[in-house]
Amino acid sequence: MTAAATLRLALAALIRNKTRSMLTMLGIVIGVAAVLVTVAIGVGARTSVQQSINSLGSNLIVVQPGSVTMTGARTGLGGASTLTPDDGLAIAKLPGVAAVSPIASFRTQAVAGDNNWQTSVNGVAPTYTFIRSWPLAAGRFFNENDVASAAKVAVLGQTVVSQLFPSGDSPIGQTIIVKGAPFTVVGTLQALGQSGLGQDQDDTVLIPYTSAMQRLTGLTTVNVLMISAASADAIDPVTERVTALLEQRHRIVPPQTDDFQVRNLQAIAQTASQTGTIMELLLAGVAAVSLVVGGIGIMNIMLVSVTERTREIGLRMAVGARGGSILRQFLAESVVLATIGGLIGVVVGGTGTLAVAALTHWPTTIPPQWIVASVGFSAMVGIFFGYYPARQAAQLNPIEALRFE
């Protein structure tokens, strides 16, 4: 018998038992649909985390002070005060470095007229907007002269603008008071929204780092050095050079540990994608389990079907069917059953994903390879779990099968 004839025979047998076929498929349908919806949500979440990491800035490398041990207790990362703006200037001269900005940040109350707002004040260099790829909304950013003179100028994030100037008037040229010192607003930043970690990035006031350190905090060290590498390929070599340079500048010799830590976003992105991979593996596991359960359902029904159709099998054998034809006939039935179940599962899963996306506004993506893989896996489940019942059918003794009541 040809493959096409076998398939037609299988379809006819399944249509003859519509209700049972549908119910048998249900396991596979639900399995595939559940897998696709969870994958769609998982992959969508991963993509959006990836995007928000990218939104932090291009080719970003971050240097933070390390931990220090004080009377036996180790502080956490950033506990040491070891990074200086001079470190930043030295790093800027390294090959492969596009820009460096120190960040001296603290939280304080900013006041404008009758309004006040607690926000994060960041003393940064003029290169900061370039490093963060953060365009201005209005006005100008401070320049090297402002840094050199520790000018009292400020650039506001959109959240601060709306809190301190709720009337809607342009804040440019206005004065805000930070830690008792008046700063003139020279520009505003475009809205960035939440960071990947849920922080409001627009809730910030940027001032020259010299102003922050000399006029407001009196510190000589900064919290963070932000570096932009010239290209994505330069990230790793620059990370190594910065580490070497700072070890030299801070006179660190083994076995002393570094009093700073250099991290780049690739590491963070890698962590995120590792998390994503683990999640995908987990989902694949769930997929496998649910499809195996569906497969057991198919095997169960196929065994019932073989018993029920024992006389039919005997008759087919009497009129010339070889064992192989019987095996292929029943195998085809379970494979067709599983594959159609898989296809319906794709449709249900796709619809479910659209519904989830519409209701929750979560980002969702169904990668096409998951569709192909889940239908393919369904077919394999059909073969695997259909083989045993089909072999039972093929090995029947025709005399006993014909006599079967």
Partner 1 sequence: MAAVVEVAGLRKEYALGNDRVYALRGVDLTVECGEFVAVMGPSGSGKSTFMHLIGLLDTPTEGTYRLEGQEVSNLSTDARADIRGRRLGFVFQAYNLLPRTSALENVELPMVYAGVIEAERRALALEKLALVGVPQLAAHHPNQMSGGQQQRVAIARALVNNPGLILADEPTGALDTKSSQDVMRLFARLNEEQGMTIMLVTHEPDVAAYARRIVTFRDGVITGDATNDRRAA
Give the list of residues 6+ apart from residue 259 with CB closer than 8 angstroms, or none.
65, 66, 68, 80, 82, 250, 252
Alpha-helix residue ranges (DSSP H) falling in 136-264: 144-148, 158-164, 209-210, 235-249
DSSP H/E element including 294: helix 265-308
Would you state the structure tokens that stand for residue 359, as one six-digit string? Answer: 């209701």
Q: In the complex, what is the shortest distance from the CB of residue 398 to partner 1, in angstroms, rounded to a whole number?
A: 5
251 binds partner 1 (CB under 8 A): no
Among 41, 224, 272, 321, binds partner 1 (CB under 8 A): 321
Among 311, 355, 360, 376, binds partner 1 (CB under 8 A): 311
Mark the segment that binds partner 1 (CB under 8 A) among 28-36, 227-235, 280-288, 320-328.
320-328
Looking at the Cβ atoms of 241 and 309, the one nearer to partner 1 is 309
Collapse the DSSP code of 259 into the 3-class scheme (helix H, G, I; strand E, B; otherwise coil) and give the result: coil
Cβ proximity of 392 and 303 under 8 Å? yes
74 binds partner 1 (CB under 8 A): no
Among 319, 359, 368, 369, binds partner 1 (CB under 8 A): 319
332 binds partner 1 (CB under 8 A): no
Phi, psi for 266 (deg, rounded to 5):
-60, -40
Around 400, how many Cα atoms within 13 Å sit in the side-chain half-sphere? 6
Phi, psi for 137 (deg, rounded to 5):
-90, -40
399 binds partner 1 (CB under 8 A): yes
Looking at the Cβ atoms of 46 and 328, the one nearer to partner 1 is 328
Q: In the complex, what is the shortest distance from the CB of residue 2 to partner 1, in angstroms, rounded to a whole number?
A: 8
196 binds partner 1 (CB under 8 A): no
Among 16, 18, 93, 361, binds partner 1 (CB under 8 A): 16
- Whose structure tokens read 């939280």? 107
Cβ proximity of 25 and 381 under 8 Å? no
Sign of CA dihedral 316, 321, 325, 327: positive
Among 157, 316, 336, 381, binds partner 1 (CB under 8 A): 316
Q: In the complex, what is the shortest distance from the CB of residue 310 to partner 1, in angstroms, rounded to a whole number?
A: 11
**CB burial of residue 243 (10 Å; 0-12, 13-18, 19+):** middle
Among 285, 324, 367, 376, binds partner 1 (CB under 8 A): 324
Mark the segment that binds partner 1 (CB under 8 A) among 95-103, 125-133, 134-142, 394-402.
394-402
Mark the segment that binds partner 1 (CB under 8 A) among 148-156, 164-172, 315-323, 352-360.
315-323
Site string for partner 1, 47-66 (x = CB under 8 A): --------------------
Beta strands at 224-229 and 260-264: parallel, antiparallel or unpaired: unpaired
Looking at the Cβ atoms of 73 and 319, the one nearer to partner 1 is 319
CA of 314: how far to CAs of 7, 302, 319, 396, in Å?
20, 17, 9, 8
Collapse the DSSP code of 319 into the 3-class scheme (helix H, G, I; strand E, B; otherwise coil) and give the result: coil
79 binds partner 1 (CB under 8 A): no
Where does this chain bind partner 1 (CB under 8 A)? 1, 5, 9, 16, 311-312, 314-325, 398-399, 402
